[in-house]
Amino acid sequence: MMNNHIRESIMRDIKINYVDIARPSFHFKMRNYSLFGYDELIKKFEESFSVEEIGDINYDVSRSFLLKKNGGLFYVYLSLIGAYCFIMSNGEVISDNKNVANIIENEITNTIKLFDITILTKKDLMGRLPFSIYFESEGQEIDSVIGLIFAPGLFI
Gap between the Cα atoms of 145 and 4, Å rounded: 13
Q: Where are the domains of the chain?
A: 4-149
Question: Which pTM was predicted?
Answer: 0.90
Q: How far apart are CA 147 and CA 156, in angstroms?
A: 11
pLDDT tens over the chain, length 156 residues: 778 899 999 999 999 988 888 888 787 887 787 788 899 999 999 999 999 999 877 778 899 999 999 999 999 999 999 999 999 999 999 986 655 558 888 899 999 999 999 999 999 999 999 998 888 777 788 899 999 999 887 888
What CA–CA distances, in Å, run from 97 to 82, 113, 132?
21, 12, 30
- Dihedrals φ, ψ of 86, to 5°? -145, 160
Q: What is the pLDDT of residue 1?
A: 72
User: Quick count: other Cβ atoms within 10 Å of Cβ 101?
Assistant: 7
Element (H, E) at 74: strand 72-79
- Euclidean distance between CA atoms 14 and 99, whole angstroms: 31
Indicate left, alpha or beta for 50 from its phi (over 0: left) and psi (-120 to 50: alpha).
beta
